[in-house]
Amino acid sequence: MDHATLFSLALDASRASYSPYSSFRVGAALLCEDGSVFTGANVENRSFGLTVCAERSAVSAAVSAGKRSFVGIVVATPDADYPVSPCGACRQVLSEFLPPEAPVVFGSSAGALVATTMGELFPHDALHELKEAPSPKR
């Protein structure tokens, strides 16, 4: 599936955003290895630390449906004047499921997209190093 189609799905998802405090809608479209797509929207809370970002919402929906292999994500931020990248918490969660070569695309409109990879967005991912390290003997 191409980035334009996924951006359209992410933009549609942003319309379901619950963002009464920031008025900043975000939608995400997560592409699974089997070709299925899961979307998510940001859900704010007045205790701002409890807010769930669109990217993590999409990951949660996919994992809840039994999916574990993802090949890319597109994020739409229609209320921004420029492309806004995933936050640090989302980068960490995405790195759990996306390989370093997976495309990560984000933008405020179809004409203003930034295309990168998970590895470029989160270059020093200790998680994958931990997965590859031998288990300590006890």
Q: How far is CA 82 from CA 13, 67, 70, in A?
A: 19, 31, 26
Cα–Cα distance, 57 to 27 (Å, whole number):
9
Query: For the packed helices 54-64 and 3-14, what is the interaxial angle rounded to 10 degrees?
Result: 100
Q: Does the active-site annotation cover 55?
A: yes
62 φ, ψ (degrees, to nearest 5): -65, -45
Q: Which position among 33, 44, 55, 120 bears the catalytic label?
A: 55
Residues designated as active site: 55
